[in-house]
Structure 1
Amino acid sequence: MNCLTFQEAITASNHYTKRHLLLGNGFSIACRPNIFRYDKLFEQADFSALPIAARNAFVALGSTDFERVIKVIRDAAAVATGYGLTPAQADQMRADADSLKELLVQTIAKSHPERPSDIRDEEYAACQTFLAHFQKTYTLNYDLLLYWTQMHRDDDGDISSDDGFRTSQGDIESGIESDYVVWEAGQSHEQNMWFLHGALHVFDSGTEVQKYTWTRTGVRLIEQTRDALSQNLFPLFVAEGTSAEKLERIRHSDYLAKAYRSFQEIQQCLFIYGHSLAANDEHYLKLIERGKLSHVYVGLFGDPASDANKAIIRRAQAMAIARRTQRQLKVDFFDSGTAKVWG
Structure 2
Amino acid sequence: MADILTFQDAITDSSKYSKRHLLLGNGFSIACRADIFHYESLFGQADFSAIPEARRVFEALGTQDFEEAIRALESGAKILPCYIPEYSSAVDQMSTHAETLKDLLVSTIAGSHPVNPSSVDEARFWACRKFLSYFIGNNFNNGGHVFTLNYDLLLYWTLMNEGNPFAENPVDLKKNDSFGNDEDNPFADYVVWQGETAAHSANIYFLHGALHLFDSGSELQKYTWARSGERLVDQARSAIEQGKFPLFVAEGTSTQKKNKIRHNAYLYQGYKVLTSNAQTGSHCFFIFGHSLAQNDDHILTRLARGKFKKLYVSIYGNPDSDTNKTIIQRANELAGQRHERYPLSIAFYDAATAKVWGENDGR
Could you state the TM-score of these two structures normalised by the residue count of structure 2?
Answer: 0.76
Q: 1:7-58 CA deviation, whole Å, 9 max, x = no partner?
A: 1111111111200100000000110111110189789632234317959x9x
Mapped pair 1:170 → 2:184? yes
Q: Would you say 1:309 and 2:324 are equivalent positions?
A: yes
State which of 319, 333, 341 in structure 2 corresponds to 1:326: 341
User: Who is 1:272 aligned against?
Assistant: 287
Structure 2 unaligned spans of 5+: 66-96, 136-143, 359-363
Q: Specify every segment of 5 or more residues in structure 1 that has no aligned partner in the other structure, as ranges.
A: 58-67, 72-95
Aligned 1:1-343 pairs, distance under 5 A: 1-38=2-39, 45-51=46-52, 54=55, 70=64, 106-134=107-135, 135-153=144-162, 156=165, 158=172, 160-171=174-185, 176-183=186-193, 184-229=195-240, 233-266=244-277, 267=280, 268-324=283-339, 326-343=341-358
How far apart are 1:188 and its partner, in Å? Answer: 1.1
1:69 deviates by 9.5
Measure how far apart 1:232 and its partner are: 5.4
SS in 1 for 2:252: coil
| RMSD, matched Cα | 3.0
The alpha-carbon deviation at position 282 of structure 1 amounts to 0.4
With over 3 angstroms needed to count, the CA separation of the structure-2 counterparts of 1:130 and 1:33, relative to structure 1, is: same
Match of 2:81 in 1: none
1:140 partner letter: L
| Count of residue correspondences | 303
Q: Give distance in 1, aligned partners of 2:101 and 2:3.
A: 40
Deviation at 1:203, TM superposition (A): 1.0
Identity %: 52
Q: C-alpha displacement at 1:273, in angstroms?
A: 0.4
Q: Write 1 or 2 for the structure with the bigger share of helix.
A: 1
How high is the TM-score relative to the length of structure 1?
A: 0.80
Name the CA distance, whole Å, in 1 between partners of 2:325 and 2:152.
Answer: 28
State which structure, 1 or 2, has the greater radius of gyration over its C-alpha atoms. Answer: 2
Note the C-alpha offset of 1:104: 6.6
Change (3 A) 1:109 1:6: same
**What CA deviation, in whole Å up to 9, does each residue of 1:186-230 have, x standing for no partner?**
211221110000000001111111101122222234431243245
Change (3 A) 1:70 1:159: closer
Change (3 A) 1:337 1:40: farther
